[in-house]
Structure 1
Amino acid sequence: MRTSAHLSSKATSDTPDIRALWQKDKDHFIHPFTDFSVFHERGCDLITDSQGIHVQDAHGKRFIDGIAGLWCVNVGHGRREIGEAMAEQATRMAYFSTFNNLSNAPAAELAAKLAELAPAHLNHVFYSCGGSAANDATIRLVHYYFNRLGKPDKKRILSRTNAYHGTTYLAATLTGIVSNNWAFDTLEHLVTHLSEANCYRRPEGMSESEYCDHLVKELEDTIARIGADNIAAFIAEPIMGAGGVLVAPPRYHQRMQAVCRANEILYIADEVVTGFGRLGHFFASEAVFDTQPDIINCAKGLSSGYAPLGATLISDELYEVLSTPQGPGGVLSTGFTYSGHPVSCAAALKNIEIMEREAICENVLDVGPYLEERLSSLSHHATVGDVRGSRFMMCLENVADKATKALLPVEARVGDRVAFEAQQRGLIIRPVGHLNIVSPPLIWTRGVVDEVVSILDDALSATTRSLAADGFL
């Protein structure tokens, strides 16, 4: 059986420089989410160049980027404007502390711009270096908020099964993907996981409306069991990302927020993936799902991946408490050395400028439905059980039997097979177990969508043949 990792083997037979670089990477770079069952032999594919919707490997082979780097290169690769803005800021003043009474122009400008783009009540920004750190910082601020209100027992956080909120210690606990935490410790006493909102695998015979009732009741029952006085917040991705691109039933988020509000439980929207255009709006919570979160976290598309940056957007109501001095000399004693890093903020400002000038969100609203429609045509393949998602955030779920929705055995590595076959044909998509995720740069056109679907059609046919040849079908 072949997997995407087998692409790396060709590096050992190429030029000495490529072989040396491949070896250094294999010997010294511990990659996130490394599959060590194949890494020691195969190493990694080296991506060396990029432009627009394409990336190129060390051998000169060009690929359509179907994952936007990792949910993040929203305006596309090789944007000279962003590089020049970063270089200008770096040569003028690359870094200085933002602690206490110090600041910098890009951080101030970006905070004001984020307040302008966000729902009207979210006017205050706490900077971090990425999505995991943003979620970690948010929970710390939430606990501090209730401590300041004299409610120190409100500590428990409600999250969801298969949610992804990061891999720093607390964020990993918020994350509900079981395999993410195999053999890792977490802070389970702080987090309770509710059911995911998975319409494809909802109980048999239950309508989407009834399924929504079921999920809301689970929240109500959980609050009754734990006690509202012990629960600080509920955190949710508007659409689950790494957990399977799960779109909740209609009105789910509105109803979950209403229950939280009735019980003085804060509603946190993790828009690390959905923010900055992926669903056709800078922020999806209010524009798409008609919710008004107390906090929105963002990263990834905030800078289109050109520089590490995360941000926590906080409501006026919360800020009033957080900004009240603890006493003489009292400070908000949390933050990061690189909070509001000027080079990262300069990248984000230029990224937002490009998105507005080129109507990137409007492109998503125009081309996104076409991507949904064309990907749905792949349902004719024997292994494609579900095609789901919204706009530029899509997923194919591979199954052994469409009628029963039974999965193929783990050792079939079906997601890896599909990704490998696609990559052989010039397209990079993301395998996550039995899933394949398509989350492209937001500049795809209808013509690119047609090319991508043609590649996937061939890749899925090849996958079916290889699964049959290996005895899995």
Structure 2
Amino acid sequence: MSADTNLDIAALDRAHALHPWTHFESFVRDGPLVIERGAGCSLWDSAGREYLDAVGGLWCTNIGLGRREMADAIAAQAEKLAFSNTFVDMTNGPAALLSAKLAELAPGDLNHVHFTTGGSTAIDSAYRMVAYYQRCAGRANKTHVIARDASYHGSTYATISIGKRAGDKVPEFAYASEGIHRVSAPDCYRAIGERSEAEFCDDLVAEFEAKIAEIGPEKVGGFFAEPIQASGGVVVPPEGYLRRMAEVCARHDILFIADEVVTGFGRLGHWFASWDEFGVQPDIICCAKGLSSGYQPIGALIFSDRIWDAMQGDRWYASGFTYAGHPVACAAALKNIEIIEREGLLDHAASVGAYFEERLTELEDLPLVGDIRGRKLMMCVENVADKATKALLDDALDVGKRISDAAEARGLMVRPMGHLNVMSPPLVITRAQVDFVAETLRASIVEVTDQLVRDGVKVG
């Protein structure tokens, strides 16, 4: 058995690996797709086939794959100091430097950083910090939190319980419910109905205020919100919604936690979307993914002076992770940020992202396409049976997967999520590559539409 033999890799994986979000029946039937290498926006599988990865790994390969200077920075740090814990009063150079850099990049008075191992653990830590801060501030009962429908905040026990995305809550697992509440998603495609966008926004804010009153404002400690709901279907909120929700939070001493695990580090052309895109000053920003562009596992929550000051005194902050502030991961994040700054990737993402929006919007003429939504390098195609009624195709048809399979056969990776196809390509994507994505996705949707019609499915 050789690790270099691709057939062996697939067989070993099939026999021994449990993948995140495994569908057992199809995995046993089809086995894994073995990815062997990557460069820029491209991936190559074990058979040598090339794909343009419009998924960006999982919203994360922002600077692109295969960068030698990233590998060199990781190797140099591993040789100098491969590990040192950051518990109690220990630190290391990369962790301290990255803390300072994140405080510099974050908006307002978000000057303090708690490192984690990824996005899920960042949100999990923020959930714990809500109750800790509120108790320190003399509001011991403010332990309840509010999130939104169609949200995804991670896969730890706490974070999967906070989120509410279709398909995430399976009957074989148990989930926490006490102290966790939700309000409607700001879905301007499906939930708005006959209302104007302004009326829809008014109703969402009123619903939030009513939910706080129902629970009791003395009990609500935090509100979790992705600036754009990513895995929930790339849900872009109506104008002014996030700012007004933050104002409600401020009136009731509720911490506004911005889940920027996806939107941070350039996806919308900014370091963070909360302030620059939506005019919101959060109390906490949670980040991961683009923080290291996937080169190392790392996450962080960046929090305000107000929270830091309230927590001071003769008490312990008894929460953290062995690999928090890992020197190699922090060195990778610092080099990643340096590359984004040096190469002007935020401006590039804003420019090519606008072109990406423009090219994908051209797909709206297809009978299967109900909605094209998103911003910059964070886009979604919603596929429907009827454009007028927005009725969906039968789940058993698995239209998103059919389209992604057709695209994959043409050398393009897009992410299927039920009736959706989601894209979040690296920030380094070029206009020519955007053209390839748009044209290949169009051909794939046309192919699947033709197949459905031949099978007797009514479309459009």
TM-score range, shorter chain: over 0.9
1:457 corresponds to 2:445: no
Query: Does 1:440 find its partner at 2:425?
Result: yes
Structure 1 position 168 matched with structure 2 position 153: no
Deviation at 1:180, TM superposition (A): 0.4
Q: Deviations over 1:128-183 (max 9, x none)?
A: 00000000011111111111222221111100001010010000011111310112
What residue in structure 2 maps to residue 12 of structure 1? none
- Paired-residue identity, %: 47
User: Residue type matched to 2:412 in 1?
Assistant: L
The 3-state SS of whatever aligns with 2:256 is: strand
Matches within 5 A, 1:41-190: 41-183=29-171, 184-190=173-179
Partner of 1:209: 198
C-alpha separation in 1, matches of 2:457 and 2:82: 55
Q: Which residue of 238, 258, 262 corresponds with 1:249? A: 238
The CA deviation at 1:339 is 0.8
Structure 2 stretches lacking a partner, 5+ long? none
* Aligned position for 1:373: 358
What TM-score, normalized to structure 1?
A: 0.95
Q: 1:415 aligns with which of 388, 400, 410?
A: 400
Amino acid aligned to 1:123: N
Q: Is the 8 A contact 1:412 1:472 kept in 2?
A: no
Q: What's the CA shift string for 1:187-246, capped at 9, x where partnerless?
A: 111210110010001242101110000100100110111111010010100000000000
Q: CA deviation at 1:16?
A: 10
Asked if 1 retains the 8 angstrom alpha-carbon contact of 2:269 and 2:347, the reply is yes
Q: Which residue of 1 aligns with 2:21?
A: 33
The answer to whether the 8 Å contact 2:108/2:281 transfers is: no
Structure 1 residues 201 and 304, CA gap change in structure 2 (3 angstroms) = same
Separation in 1 of the partners of 2:236 and 2:55? 18
Structure-1 separation of matches of 2:6 and 2:255: 51
Partner of 2:457: 472
Match for residue 222 of structure 1 among 208, 211, 217: 211
Alignment-derived partner of residue 386 in structure 1: 371
CA shift for structure 1 position 95: 0.3
Name the residue aligned to 2:291.
Answer: 302
Match of 2:385 in 1: 400
RMSD, aligned α-carbons: 1.1
Matched letter for residue 38 of structure 1: S
Structure 1 counterpart of 2:349:
364
Report the equivalent of 1:336: 321
Count of residue correspondences: 455
Kindly report which structure 2 residues correspond to 1:2-13, keeping only aligned pairs within 5 A, or say none: none
In the alignment, the residues of structure 2 paired with residue 409 and residue 36 of structure 1 have an alpha-carbon distance, to the nearest angstrom, of: 21
CA contact (8 A) 1:136 1:168 kept: yes
- Choose the corresponding residue for 2:227, options 238, 250, 262: 238
**Residue 152 of structure 1 aligns to which amino acid in structure 2?**
A
Q: Which residue of 2 aligns with 1:426?
A: 411
- Post-superposition shift, 1:469? 2.6
Structure 1 CA distance for aligned equivalents of residues 403 and 143 of structure 2: 42
Runs of at least 4 residues off by over 4 Å:
none
SS in structure 1 at match of 2:278? coil
CA distance in 1, matches of 2:174, 2:184: 21
